[in-house]
Amino acid sequence: MFGFYRVASAVNKTTVANPQKNAEEILTLVKEAADKEVSVVVFPELTLTGYTASDLFLNQTLLASQNESIQYILNNIKELDTIVILGIALLEADRLYNCAAVLQGGEILGIIPKSYLPNNKEFYEKRQFVSGRDIVRTATELLGKEVPFGVDLLFTDGRDMTFGVEICEDLWAVTPPSNHMASNGANLLFNLSASNELIGKHEYREELVRTQSARCMAAYVYSSAGVGESTTDTVYGGHAIISEYGATLAQNERFSLESSLITADIDLERMRWLRINESSYSDGRRKKTRLIKLKSLPMMSELQRDITPAPFVPSRYADKKLRCDEIIHIQAHGLIKRMTHAHIIKALIGISGGLDSTLALLSTHRAFEMMGWDSRNIIAVTMPGFGTTSRTKSNAVKLCEALGVTLKEVDITDISLQEFKAIGHDTEELSVTYENVQARARTSILMNMANQEGGLVIGTGDLSEIALGWSTYNGDHMSMYALNSGIPKTLIKYVIEYYKSNKAIADIIDDILDTPISPELLPHSDDKIVQETEEIVGPYELHDFFLYHFIKYGAKPDKIRFLAMRAFDIKYDEETITKWLKIFLQRFFNQQFKRSCMPDGPKVGTISLSPRADWKMPSDADVDVWLRMLE
């Protein structure tokens, strides 16, 4: 389903040194996983014997019993598609290896030995096992059959999933084997562990799993031994973790007295496309691997993963002050460098009482504060036209007064009427010409005033408008420094909201946030806004969602629609989402020419559309292939 797979981490209740009893518990969990449409389920290290069997591993009876239990499990999973990864002790060439066995449909597909054996303090694995670090391109015999054996094994379904397996300490080593597995194409990594609990260790463990998933641009599924393991010297809490690209998707409650199983729906298609976008991934050294083909996997009937409707906005758990301060600092530092370099001490901003010019003014003001510059050198220009309402104008004026910046007013009605006359435009015809004449008049005034004042014009257009080309070419599209160009509309609102911590402007900001988004280019009716942007181009929350998935993961339109339906639930139906997604794609393609010559401006989040840095695209590319996916 659009590159999603359900994976599970199981922690079985263990009976040390009793493989047959453990096999029964394992089978119960495997059946639960299969019922939940899980593709792969991973169990803890040395699952069948228990990790803490110690010198009993050196006794023939335990090993024989373990192998019988493997056969028993194979017999019982013949009809299942779910892949099962178990920890086993393997006798090979008269040495004992601590291994992971990958089982599917009654067969062992491969066995991977542990590379790094912990051998200090509470761990003494080298007493029983040897490292399999150098085992490559070989096979072993188990239960009368030849099975691929080595650290070079990867498993693929031939579609979006390729996985590799490592064992506990492997992840804690300086160079975990999963690094190489990921470099060779594994986008899903499993770890079978036995990690005892010590004060604070679980936090470090989770961090390790999470950061390894980020470093490897993969999903990482971890299962550690738990209840029933020997407590002779240590206690095992049974930690299960599923992370994907730096985020933990699921984690269990440790210290459970029963078996547990957690699942998560991971997006492996996303991992593949992220990697294509990272040159350091492509530069990773490749080693020789053996790719084992999996049989068909269970199909997921429904996605069980939360998709955020506001991917650009920090989650409610994030520290708002930290996030906003970071954004404002990036903006302010961009502007400070530009102004000091150009020996310019004044900044000009067309101030409309809308969201974008409000943020541009606030962040410019913050930059001036940081530098101890006189805020009167910020020249805010209000330029009322045919559509300007008293609400927006008065908010603009009040904000400038509260911030102590210089406020100037230049009415653009006469200039616009003169331009209409000069080009022979009928003033009753409220066309795009009518709108753009005003937008261009404002830019022309700002730039001419900048020459007069020796100042720099601050651009206000945001990332969402830049994506949609919702600006007038060579009008508000142009400036000397596009301060908001890296911030999408949904994030602009979030940052402006934060500025309310300044009590002197809190009420004004509330009203600005409450005003419908509008270019105010068409004549108002009874001082009311007649032109609501989101009714014309569509809701910005949808466009920001589309933009994020389109750029960051190169997602196909049908997947973006699927994700949007999941994220927005009943707020928008499929027809509405499809309609605005088509508009997004059409505008994104046919408005590239505006981006190709956009002014400099700071990148703020992971997505920018600067033609010099992040996004290079022909201005005459055809959008049909993308639109067809929505038919």
Ligand X SMILES: NC(=O)CC[C@H](N)C(=O)O
Ligand Y SMILES: Nc1ncnc2c1ncn2[C@@H]1O[C@H](COP(=O)(O)OP(=O)(O)OP(=O)(O)O)[C@@H](O)[C@H]1O
Where on the chain is the footprint of ligand X (CB under 6 A)?
A: 45, 118, 123, 168-169, 172, 193-196
Closest CA to 50 of 84, 13, 75: 13
Provide the residue type at 44 as one letter.
P
Query: Residue 201 annotated as binding?
Result: yes
What is the rounded CA–CA span in Å between residue 609 and residue 463?
A: 7
CB of 381 to ligand Y, least distance (A): 6
Minimum CB distance to ligand X smaller for 139 or for 235:
235
Residue 300 CB neighbours (<10 A): 17
Q: Does 460 bind ligand Y (CB under 6 A)?
A: yes
Provide the CA 374 distance to its chain's centre, in angstroms: 40
Query: Residue 479 annotated as binding?
Result: no
Residues in the chain: 631
Contacts 24+ apart (CB under 8 A), 569-574: 571/309, 572/539, 572/542
Span interacting with ligand DND, options 111-119, 462-470, 486-494, 504-512, rule CB under 6 A? 462-470
At which residue do the structure tokens 């900048």 appear?
450
Minimum CB distance to ligand DND smaller for 206 or for 534:
534
Judged by phi (left if over 0) then psi (alpha if -120 to 50, else beta), residue 153 lies in beta
Q: Does 601 bind ligand Y (CB under 6 A)?
A: no
Residue 389 CB neighbours (<10 A): 20
Partner whose footprint covers residue 619, from ligand DND, ligand X, ligand Y, none (CB < 5 to 8 Å by kind): ligand DND
Query: What residues does 145 pair with on adjacent strands?
Result: 142
- Options 439, 463, 508, 565; binder of ligand DND; rule CB under 6 A: 439
Minimum CB distance to ligand X smaller for 187 or for 196:
196
Residue with the closest Cβ to ligand X?
Answer: 195
Q: Are 355 and 512 a contacting pair, CB within 8 Å?
A: yes
Provide the residue type at 622 as one letter.
D
Residues that are catalytic: 45, 114, 168
Query: Residue 355 annotated as binding?
Result: yes
Partner whose footprint covers residue 3, from ligand DND, ligand X, ligand Y, none (CB < 5 to 8 Å by kind): none
Q: Which two three-digit tokens encode residue 77?
A: 């999973």
- 3-state per-residue secondary structure call for 349-381: EECCCCHHHHHHHHHHHHHHHHHCCCHHHEEEE
Q: Does 387 bind ligand DND (CB under 6 A)?
A: no
CB of 238 to ligand X, least distance (A): 12
Span interacting with ligand Y, options 125-133, 316-324, 355-363, 556-564, rule CB under 6 A? 355-363
Partner whose footprint covers residue 473, from ligand Y, ligand DND, ligand X, none (CB < 5 to 8 Å by kind): ligand DND
Query: Residue 356 annotated as binding?
Result: yes
Residues 514-553 that bind ligand Y (CB under 6 A): 517-520
Q: 235 CB contacts (<8 Å, ≥6 apart)?
A: 196, 197
Closest CA to 222 of 197, 201, 249, 198: 249
CB of 479 to ligand Y, least distance (A): 9
What is the rounded CA–CA span in Å between residue 379 and residue 452?
A: 12
Minimum CB distance to ligand X smaller for 151 or for 577:
151
Span interacting with ligand DND, options 138-146, 187-195, 224-232, 433-441, rule CB under 6 A? 433-441
Query: What is the helix (H) or strand (E) element at residue 262, kind and residue range?
Result: strand 260-267
Q: Does 350 bind ligand Y (CB under 6 A)?
A: yes
- Options 39, 533, 608, 610; binder of ligand DND; rule CB under 6 A: 533
Query: Residue 603 annotated as binding?
Result: no
Residues annotated as binding site for ATP? Answer: 350-357, 460
**Residues of this chain that bind ligand DND (CB under 6 A):** 432, 435-436, 439, 465, 469-473, 475-476, 519, 521, 533, 590, 593, 619-620
